[in-house]
Amino acid sequence: MDLSKRIQGLTGGGSDGWDVFYKARRMVADGTDVIELTIGEHDIRTHQSILDAMHRSASGGHTGYAMVPGTDALRDAVAERLTTRTGVPTTRDNVLITPGGQSALFAAHSAVCDEGDVALFCDPYYATYPGTLRGVGAIPRAVPCHPENAFEPSYADITDNCAGAKSLLVNTPNNPTGVVYSKDTVEGIARACRDNDMWCISDEVYDTQIWDGTHISPRTLDGMAERTLVIGSMSKSHAMTGSRVGWVVGPKEVITHLVTLATHTTYGVPGYIQDAATFALGEGTALEQDVGAPFERRRALGKAVIAKQNAVSLVPSSGAMYMMLDIRNTGLSGEDFADKLLDTHHIAVMPGESFGSSAAGHVRVAMTVEDAAFETALQSIVDFAKEIEP
Ligand code: PMP
């Protein structure tokens, strides 16, 4: 029996640059001690107080179907959070609760892209982006971003590639680079969207992890609230990756349609998960800071190691849980560097090429092991780069 072209074409074919990741996983399964700095997941688990709230809710009976758009309490909490953090008045009518940011990305693009529409995304990019865009029937088109500009998309980068495009997907703080887009960059994004009548899908799942500078949401700029869909999630801010709870925030009319989409796809998010998320947001910024603090510490440790040598340089990251290293001096591709590093030092990092062709010659290091081990691993990466420098 034939399967749909859409489902078969989801990955786009070809090598996806994840070979090193799977090789590391096989080594671990075979008993090798590998330091894995690959996936963006905390080395701590969800805080006990959030689990207690989840338990209270489930034992209290909130295990039936929950409201499809999200519970009023969680939608209100998300709305209040965005109003407070960005100054853009937001109410529950602007919020759809989704099973994680990933599902929110899919929903947002479903709302704005028709079959065959061009949907832009910035390269380097979070690995699922092109497949998500294909999944809604859109044609993904990369906006190449440049290392000289810390991989931030300029107005020209966007407009050079936006002919006929319906939407632009941006991500700040950025995965894989850890860069927090500057005011100039976000203004350029907004101007490009307004000038070319594009929707802006703004992936802000790392918005609580800012180690320098300020996070600016494109939704806050002139004329943008009506054309921006913000993607949020409890995964990174509250170490709730496994709970699958996130949101889309946007104009009321879009959310009304997305509630209909949710009715026909996910049928909402479990009530006890939503209650746990409501509790977590109610705890304010202290809990978010606790969750983010290890990454801020490790980034400082990592920066100190990098500052002492010239073999690799650091993309000026200022947020999220990643450091992106420029290893072009070694003459190796990111893939070869990561592969040899894994073989010789049993340290697994992600080749830049896994995140698109713009980040070739780079590797992404996730700051997801405890401080001392992270510092030692980074020192080994730097020493390895020095050894192989031509
Ligand atoms: N956007 C970005 C940039 C991410 O890095 C991730 C997860 N790694 C997601 C969205 C999706 O996260 P989740 O579905 O867990 O909310």
State in Å: Cα 345 to ligand 1 middle.
Answer: 29
- Average the pLDDT over 102-116 and give the result: 98
Q: Are residues 161 and 266 in the same domain?
A: yes
Counted domains in the chain: 2
In a domain, 56, yes or no: no
CB-CB contact of 278 with 245 (8 Å): no
In a domain, 54, yes or no: no
Q: Are residues 108 and 255 in the same domain?
A: yes
| Confidence class for position 12, pLDDT limits 50, 70, 90 | confident
Domain end position, chosen among 283, 308, 334: 283
In a domain, 274, yes or no: yes
Q: Provide the CATH number for the domain around residue 364.
A: 3.90.1150.10
Q: For the chain, what percent of residues have pLDDT higher than 70?
A: 99
| Confidence class for position 322, pLDDT limits 50, 70, 90 | very high
Q: Which H or E run includes 351?
A: strand 347-351
- Average the pLDDT over 89-109 and give the result: 98
173 CB within 6 A, ligand 1? no
Model pTM greater than 0.85?
A: yes
pLDDT value of position 11: 83
In a domain, 174, yes or no: yes
| Confidence class for position 390, pLDDT limits 50, 70, 90 | confident
Q: Are residues 276 and 298 in the same domain?
A: no
Q: Provide the CATH number for the domain around residue 75.
A: 3.40.640.10
Is pLDDT above 70 for 13?
Answer: no
Cβ neighbors of 89 (< 8 A, separation 6 or more) are 83
User: Could you tell me the end-to-end alpha-carbon distance of the chain, in angstroms, rounded to an integer?
Assistant: 54
| Confidence class for position 226, pLDDT limits 50, 70, 90 | very high
In a domain, 55, yes or no: no
In a domain, 50, yes or no: no
State in Å: Cα 78 to ligand 1 middle.
Answer: 17
Burial 362-376 (b: 16+ CB within 10 A, else e): bbbbbbbbeeeebbe
How many C-beta atoms lie closer than 10 Å to residue 6's C-beta?
12
State in Å: Cα 388 to ligand 1 middle.
Answer: 34
Q: Are residues 290 and 273 in the same domain?
A: no
In a domain, 52, yes or no: no
Q: How far apart are CA 368 and CA 118, in angstroms?
A: 35
246 CB within 6 A, ligand 1? yes
Long-range residue pairs from 8-14, CB within 8 A, at least 24 positions apart, any chain: 9/134, 10/131, 10/134, 10/135, 11/131, 12/130, 12/131, 12/134, 12/140
Q: Which H or E run includes 101?
A: helix 100-112
Distances (CA, A) of 5 to 109, 135, 217, 265, 344: 19, 10, 36, 20, 41
Domain end position, chosen among 229, 261, 283: 283
Domain end position, chosen among 266, 283, 300: 283
Is pLDDT above 70 for 53?
Answer: yes
Q: Are residues 184 and 219 in the same domain?
A: yes
Residue 307 identity: A
Reference 326, options 295, 300, 358; nearest CA is 358
- Average the pLDDT over 41-67 and give the result: 97
In a domain, 279, yes or no: yes
Q: Are residues 267 and 292 in the same domain?
A: no
| Confidence class for position 389, pLDDT limits 50, 70, 90 | confident
The token pair that represents 278 in the structure block? 């409501």
Q: Are residues 301 and 271 in the same domain?
A: no
| Confidence class for position 16, pLDDT limits 50, 70, 90 | low
Map tokens 């203004």 to a residue.
187
Is pLDDT above 80 for 14?
Answer: no
Q: Are residues 299 and 242 in the same domain?
A: no
Q: Which of 133, 181, 205 to mutate to test the pocket of ligand 1 (most atoms within 8 A of CB)?
A: 205
- pLDDT digits over 243-292, tens only? 999 999 999 999 999 999 999 999 999 999 999 999 999 999 999 999 99
Is pLDDT above 70 for 357?
Answer: yes
- Average the pLDDT over 210-227 and give the result: 97
**Ligand 1 atom nearest to CA at 175:** 3
Which residue has better confidence, 378 or 15? 378
Reference 169, options 123, 207, 135; nearest CA is 123
pLDDT value of position 108: 98
Q: Are residues 97 and 171 in the same domain?
A: yes
The token pair that represents 28 in the structure block? 């671990």
Q: Which domain holds residue 181?
A: 64-283
Q: Are residues 339 and 365 in the same domain?
A: yes
Q: Are residues 77 and 185 in the same domain?
A: yes
Query: In whole numbers, what is the pLDDT of the chain averaged over residues?
Result: 96
Q: Are residues 19 and 159 in the same domain?
A: no
205 CB within 6 A, ligand 1? yes
Is pLDDT above 80 for 17?
Answer: no
State in Å: Cα 107 to ligand 1 middle.
Answer: 14
Strands ordered across the beta sheet of 322-326: 35-37, 347-351, 362-366, 322-326, 313-314
